[in-house]
Amino acid sequence: MNPFRLGLTGSIGMGKTATARLFAEEGCAVWDADAAVHRAYGPGGAAVAALGHAFPQAIERGAVSRDALRRIIASDPGALARIEAIVHPLVAEDRARFAEATGSDIVVFDIPLLFETGGDAAMDAVAVVTVPEAEQRRRVLARGTMTEADLDRILARQMPSAEKVARADYVIVTDTPEHARAQVRAVVDDIRRTRADA
């Protein structure tokens, strides 16, 4: 039987990374989209040659510089679409290889922009992590890595959390670690029970 494919998503500051760890603790295999991009951008990574051909100024010391990419995107309105056309298929290949190699009954695909990129169509179900907006802002700004304006720019590119929640098969409220853990266990139990009945 093929593994169950669970998409895990949520807006910035909602607790997705911590929730992915909880799924791993329940015996699920977890694939991280951000980590796949880091692998592709690193020295010898799958994206280095192709991005280097399209944007030579993006390559520094044999790897893709995210800072350089940000500068390119800021100065060229068409650059983002060209970058995504190169990177998205490479990340999809990484995801497919991971799914084929796993021995787990449930594979969790941790993908920040799952709905925005149409990736939910490839999943058996989607879990969305969420907290109230005020808590989201508090968490993100407490990191000290961005301003309110930076956060507003990121949120403007993401589907509103309420819409993600409405489209989800499972909703995980990450208000406390204990509550999140209980909900993750309930999701895993529900999936395993459903598969056993199939």
**Residue 125: strand pairing partners:** 6
What pTM was computed for the model? Answer: 0.88
pLDDT per residue as tens digits for the range 33-83: 999 999 999 999 999 999 999 999 999 999 999 999 989 998 998 999 999
pLDDT per residue as tens digits for the range 160-178: 999 999 999 999 999 999 9
What the chain holds in terms of domains, given with CATH numbers, is: 1-28+105-198 (3.40.50.300), 34-103 (3.40.50.300)
| Burial degree of 68 (CB within 10 A; 0-12, 13-18, 19+) | middle
